[in-house]
Structure 1
């Protein structure tokens, strides 16, 4: 997932109950994209510029799970079906 002015793609559809690996690569110097926060999974990670950072989550139930930057300006979501 590319981080530059937001998340691309901003919406990811996955299977509920299955582990998912999200690979975040920050492609900008802006400090807004320095951190990603996945509150439903109790995870956050620092994203160094031009480095890929993998995060693994398992959405246990169908639903929508939001993720944001540390400043809550960039937004994306995981849709588990």
Structure 2
């Protein structure tokens, strides 16, 4: 679906939003995987794992469940990273 100034119906708009959110999510996943690989290769995995385990959101944002989700994803990535 191309992204131009033409008219979209509601369904088409949701499809476009979904497509863009999936691209952003995938890019974030790839970026996080690269960062985890760099950290593991540099020998700093344990330090960063502890940092991630203790990371929290700024109070008042009501984003605790989202932070827990993000923390779990990053910790899983650290466990799967293999560098040679």
**Which protein has the larger Cα radius of gyration, Structure 1 or Structure 2?**
2
Same fold at TM > 0.5: no
Q: If each structure's strand is expressed as a fraction of its own residues, which one has the higher value?
A: 1
Q: If each structure's helix is expressed as a fraction of its own residues, which one has the higher value?
A: 2
